[in-house]
Amino acid sequence: EYTLDSQKSKVVVTRDLGTDVLGRLSENPFVDMVVWPQDCLCDRDWLLENVEGADGLVVMLTDKAGIIKWNLSRSYVMDTAGANLKVVSTMSVGYEHVDLAGLAKRGVRLGYTPDVLNDAVADLSVMLALMAGRNGGEALVHVKNGEWPNDSWSPFSWCGSQLSGTAGRPRTVGFLGFGRIAQATLNRLVGFGISRCVYTTRIGSLPKRDLEESLTEKYRGVNPAFEGVRHVDLKTLARESDVLFVLAPGGAETRHVVDEELLREMKRTSVLVNTSRGSLVDSDALAKALRQGWIWGAGLDVVEGEPNISADHPLVQEPRCVIMPHIGSATFATRKDMANLAVTNVLAVLSNEPMVSEKSV
């Protein structure tokens, strides 16, 4: 544990993270912890009342939605906190909801929670690839609506696109963004007999040649037919992928990188999976692609504008679009690790120690 100054530090937490995790703050004699007491989005007036004089702020990825709903600028929260504020710690790997420029201007540091959620999000990415490829969304609704008894089996009913590959039917997976979650997803897919992996990285960043070589060698050991991991441009990624996983950070730089032009390049049998941020995919273009059959299906854990996604949203209306309400990291073990890491990051700053996971702003 960390040794804090004998002077008390105020830490405001915008959600109840459970007694185990919050006990690390509440039982610390040098921390004055204030927690939003309800299990719903933290209230605007409560936050502004309580954030004053805070040294640390633990926030959730949903807090941006709340702040927009309150029609309140993000820097206003920081202004109200005042000069004591040293650290904002988000319980998420993504930081699209955080005003990076505002933090930088005030010299406030940012903690986040990478790595601990890699496996949970990779699991969900594979699940969405399978569900979207195999008509999982529609098939579930069919049974739930009691329609199965009226539906006689036929040789080609409910057929979809197959994720696994064989020697005679090679499969290529593509990654838009090739960080830790993408690599954990690839690791799972090798067991499905996929034979090739293509990826793109941020514009201007170099191909990861050493990584390509080491992964190719490793996966050839598992599947001798595995041809390798290769960096390609965006158009080639779209053209070659049987399943295209979108796993890059959100923000202005990547907004709508999956647009109509890119979707038109994809195979008619391909599946798009997005488990990163909704802003990377142009929802209208994707709905059009699904409606007009440019691609087979889509599996989304995130949608631009979430959580305000109503039943008449064009993507919700698409039968081959499987949508989950941003549950990528939602396993008990992972969420607890994320909550603990968020608290650890705050305590580290308040004790003048390096953060375990700091995002430079």
* Start-to-end CA span in the chain (Å): 26
DSSP string, 129-177: HHHHHTTHHHHHHHHHTT-GGG----TTTT-------BTTB--EEEEES
Q: In what order do the strands lie in the sheet with 196-200?
A: 228-231, 196-200, 172-176, 243-246, 271-274, 297-300, 321-323
Selecting among 171, 277, 320, 335, the annotated active-site residue is 277
Q: Do 169 and 198 form a contact (C-beta atoms < 8 A)? A: no
DSSP letter for 178, please.
Answer: -
DSSP letter for 281, please.
Answer: B
Angle between helices 136-144 and 118-133 (to 10 degrees): 70
Here's the x/- map for ligand DGY, 93-112, by CB under 6 A: it reads as xx------------------
Residue closer to ligand DGY, measured from CB, 108 or 117 = 117
Tokens 């593509």 appear where?
174
Minimum CB separation of residue 328 from ligand DGY in Å reads 4
Structure tokens at 305: 């504008």
Contacts of 111 (CB under 8 A, 6+ apart): 87, 88, 89, 90, 341, 342, 345, 346, 348, 349, 355, 356, 357, 358, 359
Beta strands in 1-145 (DSSP E): 9-13, 31-35, 56-59, 87-90, 109-111
Residue closer to ligand DGY, measured from CB, 109 or 277 = 277
Q: Is 328 in the site for ligand DGY (CB under 6 A)?
A: yes
Minimum CB separation of residue 92 from ligand DGY in Å reads 3
Residue closer to ligand DGY, measured from CB, 114 or 207 = 114
Structure tokens at 340: 């603990």
The correct pick among 14, 28, 92, 241 for binding ligand DGY (CB under 6 A) is 92
Q: Of the ranges 72-80, 207-215, 323-331, 339-347, which one interacts with ligand DGY (CB under 6 A)?
A: 323-331
Minimum CB separation of residue 292 from ligand DGY in Å reads 30
Q: Is 133 in the site for ligand DGY (CB under 6 A)?
A: no
Minimum CB separation of residue 62 from ligand DGY in Å reads 10
Selecting among 306, 318, 320, 335, the annotated active-site residue is 306
Q: Of the ranges 7-15, 87-95, 182-190, 234-242, which one interacts with ligand DGY (CB under 6 A)?
A: 87-95
Q: Which of 1, 21, 13 is nearest to 87 (CA)?
A: 13
Residue closer to ligand DGY, measured from CB, 326 or 359 = 326
Q: Is 9 in the site for ligand DGY (CB under 6 A)?
A: no
Residue closer to ligand DGY, measured from CB, 60 or 85 = 60
306 is catalytic: yes
Q: How many residues are present in the chain? A: 361
231 is catalytic: no
326 is catalytic: yes
Structure tokens at 165: 């590959």
Q: Of the ranges 8-16, 50-58, 223-231, 322-330, which one interacts with ligand DGY (CB under 6 A)?
A: 322-330
Residue closer to ligand DGY, measured from CB, 109 or 359 = 359
Question: How many residues contact ligand DGY, by CB under 6 A?
Answer: 8
Residue closer to ligand DGY, measured from CB, 120 or 285 = 120
Q: Are strands 196-200 and 228-231 parallel, antiparallel or unpaired?
A: parallel
Here's the x/- map for ligand DGY, 136-175, by CB under 6 A: it reads as ----------------------------------------
Q: Is 329 in the site for ligand DGY (CB under 6 A)?
A: yes
Site residues for ligand DGY per CB under 6 A: 61, 92-94, 117, 326, 328-329
Q: Which residues are catalytic?
A: 277, 306, 326
